[in-house]
Amino acid sequence: MPALICGSLAFDTIATFPGRFGQQILPDQIHILNVSFLVPTLRREFGGCAGNIAYNLAALGAEAVVVAAVGSDGIGYVERLRSWGVATESVRAIDDAFTAQAFIMTDLDNNQITAFHPGAMQSAHEIDVPSRADLALAIVAPDGREAMLRHAAQLVAAGVPFIFDPGQGLPMFDGAELRRFVEQASWVAVNDYEAEMLTERTGLTLEAMSRSHLRGIVVTLGAEGCELWLDGERVRVPGMTAQNVVDPTGCGDAFRAALLYGLERGWPLERCAVLGNRLGALKIASRGGQNHVLDRTVVPT
């Protein structure tokens, strides 16, 4: 059964700074910050959370349905999705807008500075969650603010369990809105920084959230793996060693694809996390969010 992916389709313009941001920023001058970074390398990649998740799901041999908006420059991206077998009937082209664009700069320590132009993503709330009886589960990933609110509500109305993945969109929501997302979701997936912000804004600890209706909370920790919260108990899943560390862009999306893949098959959350760590370690060895090659040996037996 297919997984529904509500999220962004974007182009990533990625630059590498051959130094460390921390060495270029003077802490006592942060109030008048004016810095320039020389970036000898520059490339443009297909990206966006929905696109990256769909790429990994398709590579794993799973079905995916994408709900997203692209601009007049995004028709080739839609064709790319279709070439993987992804259902794109709920991808809408907005003629008078650009596809969302992320401008990402990474330093030698894999710290990132990102500027994001939402473009067509701001119209994603105009697209309804499709009425399909075969949807196994869904994810509400970073997207336009109104789209995330609306799609979560529509998934609840349709009885489709979903992962709430606020990602970089988390600061758009206040505490009441975030509590509502948590109440509606079946799972929550965040990184460690987002987990701190989520608990601060909602006033709820991860332990308390996990003792509610949620089937699990996942907190990714980069190379250290992840933590799972299940019924008030914390379980640590160690990370996988990457053969090479090249570009962290899209690692979180690869992990979330693994969650969808495993949960759709009825796996326990810990087994899903093991696969997620494997995909993240594999992805970080390649540039961009959709250039790594998967084979079925990454799937735990």
Give pLDDT, residue 191. 97
Give pLDDT, residue 14. 84
- Using CB atoms within 10 Å of the CB of residue 244, give its burial: 0 to 12 exposed, 13 to 18 middle, 19+ buried: exposed
CB 85 within 8 A of CB 63: yes
Catalytic residues, which ones?
253
The CATH number for 3-24+39-293, chosen from 3.40.1190.20, 3.40.640.10, 3.40.50.2300, 3.90.1200.10, is: 3.40.1190.20
Which has the closest alpha carbon to 91: 146, 54, 58?
54
CA distances from 164 to 148, 186, 190, 295 (A): 9, 8, 9, 27
Residue 87 DSSP code: E
**pLDDT tens figures, 93-102:** 999 999 999 8
84 φ/ψ angles, rounded to the nearest 5 degrees: -90, -5
**pLDDT tens figures, 167-225:** 989 999 999 999 999 999 999 999 999 999 999 999 999 999 999 999 999 999 999 99
User: Which residue reads 């600890």 in tokens?
Assistant: 205
pLDDT band, residue 298 (cuts 50/70/90): low
Give pLDDT, residue 30. 78
Give pLDDT, residue 227. 98
194 by DSSP, 3-state: which?
A: helix
pLDDT band, residue 228 (cuts 50/70/90): very high
In angstroms, rounded to a whole number, what is the distance separating the alpha carbons of residues 180 and 274?
29
Where are the chain's structural domains?
A: 3-24+39-293
Give pLDDT, residue 236. 97
With a cut of 70, say whether residue 301 has pLDDT above it. Answer: no
Give the pair of three-digit tokens for residue 53: 């998740």
